[in-house]
A and B are shown apart, each in its own frame.
Chain A
Amino acid sequence: MKFDDRKKVRNVAGENIVIMQSANTVDMTKVVALNESAMLVHERLTGKEFTVDDVVRVLTDEYEVDEATARRDAEALVASMRNEGLIID
């Protein structure tokens, strides 16, 4: 899997967000906000092919967290970013 490079992360007044462009011009904007760990993973792994193991490594390198917890967090993070279309195959 990899990050979709069309989904650009932008800083808005201190928050990191991705603007999800809707197909029509109704007055609605959907944005996805990246929290600190999501942003870290995005920074480290963007532009590369990666696996859940790589995400686990990013988390254990940066945070004092045991492998099992990091794996659980990594799986949840990947699932939610995939769900939002930030991660594609």
Chain B
Amino acid sequence: MTVGSLLIWALVIGLALYVTRAHPEAHGVRSARWLIIGGGVVFPTTVLTALLIYGLMLIPELRATGDIDRRIEVAGEQWWWRVRYPQENGEAVELANEIRLPLGERILFRLSSPDVIHSFWIPSLAGKVDMIPGRITELVVEPTRTGTFRGACAEYCGASHALMNFQVVVMEPDAYRDWLAHQATLARAPTAEQARRGQQAFLANGCGACHTVRGTPADGRLGPDLTHVGSRLGLGADALPNDREALIRWIGHTGEVKPDVRMPAFGMLPVDELAALAAYLSELE
């Protein structure tokens, strides 16, 4: 399509230069009329018809929702992603801000939004589909190579639209199964002393009102599930890398990192408490 476009562009511009510069003298009106009919009507009609047929033939393949190996539910929320992996036993593992896929399976994404319109887009794997409040939209993806890819929200959704991203990891099916099984487990108890203090701070400061850490009293549903947050590749919908320093910065200065984010900043906490929280969360692998 690109080559074709460039060719047509070169032809038209060449023609324009020919008639205005190379040979500006008058030519016959007859040839001019043929130019209109040929260049303006016959040629584009032919090319466009072919292109249309080709484009339409692609669509059914892209959208066929039968023959699906796996479903994943993703909700876009201001400004993060809630990801649910339904299990065979009818329950679902709820994670956030990162998606892992098994190589070679056809996966159906069921997309929704509880707040504003978002658009789910993994450029390297598929086209985008909007997430519209009050509707469920669908997208079929069939990854053909392993690797880590970037995903983003493509529909403007408010102040931090630019910071609503995620990473997609395509894994070998076995590795994927192990990973998902691990993600389904409860959170591991903190081991290090600092992490234990971190857990207390987590519960004492009410973090559990919005976040779930499975296996602890924290069972909030407003924000991302943090049961295995330490194992993720990024923080705050990929706004920051996932390390202790970034965790401290995030918890202390949410609004600076991500304008208008709904999580309040906990900058008033003592420095060592923030460090303890970071230690606790990064241990949640």
Q: Do A and B come from one complex?
A: no
Query: A-contacting residues of B (Cβ < 8 Å)?
Result: none
Q: Name A's B-contacting residues (CB within 8 A).
A: none
